């Protein structure tokens, strides 16, 4: 039963991400205002670093290591927020909360959503 609920949550989360695909996953206007016209380079750096940090979040969740999960999710959230990738930042915050509450199955669902959101950023960067 829990697996069925988790599968329904996964589908719902992916549908939300798919519907958001038509919008820009990055607030380019804010990014340009803060950093000037080097946004492509900044987004490329973000994608490189976020990829590594996302793997650390996933590893911490697999090990159910709360200390590492919180450390890595907070770090990734801070980077996301600093370059206006708000959906990913919000999801990182939700991962922190679920981890703090020892809701490991929810953490894994949220990580799937985080990966989908990151894919949107990467797709946007490749355009």
Residues 41-50 have pLDDT tens digits of 888 899 999 9
Domains annotated for the chain, with CATH where assigned, are 37-126 (1.20.120.160)
Residue 120 reports pLDDT greater than 80: yes
Q: Are 69 and 85 in contact (CB under 8 A)?
A: no
Residue 12 reports pLDDT greater than 60: no
Class of residue 36 by CB neighbours under 10 A (exposed 0-12, middle 13-18, buried 19+): exposed
What pLDDT does 2 receive?
56
CA-based torsion, 99, 109, 81, 125: positive or negative: positive
Q: How far apart are CA 48 and CA 87, in angstroms?
A: 18
- How much is the average pLDDT of 73-81? 96
């Amino acid at each position: 039963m829990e697996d069925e609920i988790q599968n329904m949550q996964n589908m719902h989360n992916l549908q939300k991400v798919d519907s958001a695909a038509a919008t820009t996953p990055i607030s380019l206007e804010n990014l340009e205002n803060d950093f000037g016209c080097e946004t492509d380079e900044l987004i490329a750096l973000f994608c490189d670093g976020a990829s590594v940090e996302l793997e650390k979040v996933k590893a911490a969740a697999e090990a159910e290591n709360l200390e590492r999960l919180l450390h890595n999710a907070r770090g990734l959230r801070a980077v996301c927020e600093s370059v206006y990738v708000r959906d990913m930042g919000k999801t990182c915050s939700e991962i922190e909360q679920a981890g703090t509450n020892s809701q490991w199955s929810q953490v894994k669902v949220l990580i799937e959503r985080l990966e989908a959101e990151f894919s949107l950023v990467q797709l946007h960067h490749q355009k």
